[in-house]
């Protein structure tokens, strides 16, 4: 009779092993960096950085960059890139302002709900345009989105009648940028909702798994039966939607629109996504990492403002952060 073989239970991991796994987690490292930066700027600014007013302002600014970064993350996880994010957000903001303005120079005077709906639809439309050219015509995402950025900036110039600042907007619009539900500002609530939905989509749906698969290897994804063209189209449409939401919040925060209000948002969104651990080559990263990347860049920018650093010095620091993040990504791939 053969001897009965009993399977030995694998021993449960020790506390040391659990801590080792935790420290190797990329998001844990980003969280530590964020905590160190908060403490450092709190000390260097003699507590000014840690005031309730400043933290609230920091989170409000993070909401706009963060929402745009979530859309950018969808694109970059599929091994694409969208340089038109800033242009789309500016166009949405300027077009919405011109449609809802009560100034005599603008004849539309649309009610606020209809104006906001048009703004979001324009964002989706511009993103879908990128998606069609990238997915159906196999055009380079870099060239397509750069061209779309030029187009949207030109359209925004026309919408503002030569680049003037558009004012006299309906008071009800301010709810999206200045309103609160309880003690929590509406922009932060919208940002949290976007983060939660994005997390669920990327990590708990087949659509999210397909995005990672395409970013990892498009050839393998095609051989697996994934409709890569459809997925690529939708990630750009999602990016346009997020840019549209960012444009709505920015417009309602300052209750005015001009060509410079969201200038550079595309670079900020790419930087936040890369710092958050999303690979430039696609297929790797998480939405939690993107959230941490957004907060890290916001903390750095806010802290440097309080310290009185010039905008040029801030550009140098942010550029160095991006280079470090890209270098780490390249070393990981090796």
Mean pLDDT by 10 residues, the chain (334 residues): 48 64 74 92 93 92 95 96 96 95 82 96 97 95 96 95 90 94 94 97 96 94 94 97 97 93 90 92 92 95 92 88 82 71
Gap between the Cα atoms of 160 and 173, Å rounded: 18
Gap between the Cα atoms of 208 and 41, Å rounded: 37
pLDDT at position 263: 86
DSSP string, 202-216: HHHSHHHHHHHHHHH
Q: Is residue 22 part of a domain?
A: no
**184 bridge partner residues:** 181
Q: Is residue 203 part of a domain?
A: yes
Q: Is residue 24 part of a domain?
A: no
Note whether 191 and 67 are within 8 A (CB): yes
pLDDT at position 16: 61
pLDDT at position 5: 45
Domains of the chain: total: 1
Note whether 76 and 297 are within 8 A (CB): no
Q: Is residue 68 part of a domain?
A: yes
Q: Is residue 13 part of a domain?
A: no
Q: Is residue 212 part of a domain?
A: yes
**How distant is the alpha carbon of residue 3 from its chain centre?**
60
Residue 146 sits in which domain range? 41-329
Q: Which residues of 208-230 are buried (b: 16+ CB within 10 A; e: fewer)?
A: bebbbbbbbebeebeeeebebee
| pTM, full prediction | 0.91
Q: Is residue 136 part of a domain?
A: yes
pLDDT at position 110: 92
Gap between the Cα atoms of 133 and 236, Å rounded: 10
Note whether 306 and 48 are within 8 A (CB): yes
Q: Is residue 12 part of a domain?
A: no
Note whether 177 and 63 are within 8 A (CB): no
pLDDT at position 7: 47
């Amino acid at each position: 009779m053969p001897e009965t073989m009993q399977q030995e239970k694998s021993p449960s991991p020790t506390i040391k092993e659990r801590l080792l796994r935790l420290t190797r987690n990329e998001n844990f490292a980003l969280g530590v960096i964020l905590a160190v930066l908060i403490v450092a700027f709190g000390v260097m600014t003699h507590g000014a950085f840690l005031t309730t007013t400043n933290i609230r302002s920091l989170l409000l600014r993070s909401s706009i960059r963060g929402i745009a970064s979530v859309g950018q993350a969808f694109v970059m996880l599929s091994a694409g890139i969208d340089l038109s994010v800033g242009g789309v957000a500016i166009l949405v903001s300027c077009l919405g302002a011109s449609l809802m303005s009560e100034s005599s120079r603008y004849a539309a005077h649309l009610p606020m709900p209809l104006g906001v709906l048009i703004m979001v639809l324009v964002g989706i439309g511009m993103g879908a345009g990128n998606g069609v050219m990238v997915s159906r015509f196999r055009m380079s995402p870099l060239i397509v989105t750069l061209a779309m950025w030029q187009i949207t900036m030109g359209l925004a110039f026309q919408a503002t009648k030569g680049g003037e600042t558009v004012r006299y907007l309906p008071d009800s619009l301010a709810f999206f940028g200045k309103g609160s539900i309880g003690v929590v500002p509406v922009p932060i609530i919208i940002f949290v909702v976007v983060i939660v939905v994005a997390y669920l989509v990327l990590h708990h749906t087949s659509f999210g798994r397909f995005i990672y698969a395409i970013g990892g290897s498009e050839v393998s994804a095609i051989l697996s039966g994934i409709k890569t063209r459809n997925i690529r189209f939708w990630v750009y449409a999602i990016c346009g939607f997020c840019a549209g939401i960012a444009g709505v919040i920015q417009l309602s925060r300052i209750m005015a629109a001009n060509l410079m209000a969201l200038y550079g948002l595309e670079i900020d969104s790419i930087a936040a996504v890369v710092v958050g651990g999303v690979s430039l080559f696609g297929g790797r990263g998480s939405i939690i990492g993107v959230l941490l990347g957004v907060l890290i860049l916001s903390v750095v920018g806010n802290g440097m403002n309080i310290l009185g650093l010039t905008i040029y010095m801030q550009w140098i620091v942010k550029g160095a952060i991006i280079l470090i993040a890209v270098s780490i990504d390249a070393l990981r791939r090796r």
